Amino acid sequence: MKHNPAEFWNDRFGQEEFIYGTQPNEFFKEQINKLKLGSLLLPAEGEGRNAVYAAILGWQVTAFDISERGQEKALRLAKEKNVSIDYHIFGVLDFMSSQQFDVIGLCYAHFPIELRKEAHRHLINFLKPGGIIIFEAFSKAQFGNTSGGPKSKDMLFSIEEIKDEFKELKFKILKEETIQLSEGNHHKGEAEVIRFVGVKS
């Protein structure tokens, strides 16, 4: 049986609770707070916690995900916080925009390995020269941990893969580290992650 990602995420986001919480990712928050306001793209944005946080700060936010349930919850959260986000339903390779963005935020955007390189290349097209990517995802060392992440080691990252898949970037930060995750019930506990901030040359 072929795994259907949209079905998986609709099922997961279909619960009443925000499964990764409503607070932004810590690293995303810390980095976006340092930047001059502008346009932000958030692929695989799920229930909208980072999108809504950025919109509260005054960013012009475009987000997408494959899950309609994720979109519904993100728009509900935006309404509660009295902000507006532009949120679409797309698979990553179907996303199109005439706009180039100042910042792209990739938080736990673990695409299937067979389309991951192409997905990253595709997304970089939508980043302005001099634009910034803020990234946090699980590293290979997370495999087997219960604090979250894909169950396939292929979908986890190594520093070498990051350098290979984001060749257009000059890294200001690129590090693998052990952190304590506290993002809802599905990202909880000690976790192995890779974080980076990269500038498109």
Which residue ranges make up each domain of the chain? Answer: 5-200
Q: Which two tokens stand for residue 51?
A: 């999108």
Quick one: pLDDT at residue 4?
81
- Whether the CB-CB separation of 166 and 154 falls below 8 Å is answered with no
Which CATH superfamily hosts domain 5-200?
Vaccinia Virus protein VP39 (3.40.50.150)
Query: Which residues lie below 8 Å from residue 91, measured CB to CB, with a gap of 6+?
Result: 66
The span from the CA of 29 to the CA of 102, in Å, is 16
pLDDT of residue 3: 62
In this prediction, residue 2 carries a pLDDT of 46
pLDDT tens string, the chain, 201 residues long: the values are: 346 888 988 888 888 889 888 999 999 999 999 999 999 999 999 999 999 999 999 999 999 999 999 999 999 999 999 999 999 999 999 999 999 999 999 999 999 999 999 999 999 999 999 999 999 999 999 998 988 998 889 999 999 999 999 999 999 999 999 999 998 777 889 999 999 999 999
Report d(CA 60, CA 112) in Å as an integer.
Answer: 28
Q: Is the dihedral of CA 125, 127, 131, 133 positive or negative?
A: negative
Torsion over CA: 20, 22, 26, 30 (sign): positive
Q: What is the pLDDT of residue 1?
A: 38
115 phi/psi in degrees, rounded to 5: -120, 5
Nearest CA among 48, 63, 67, 64 for reference residue 10: 67
pTM, 2 dp: 0.94
Residue type at 34? K
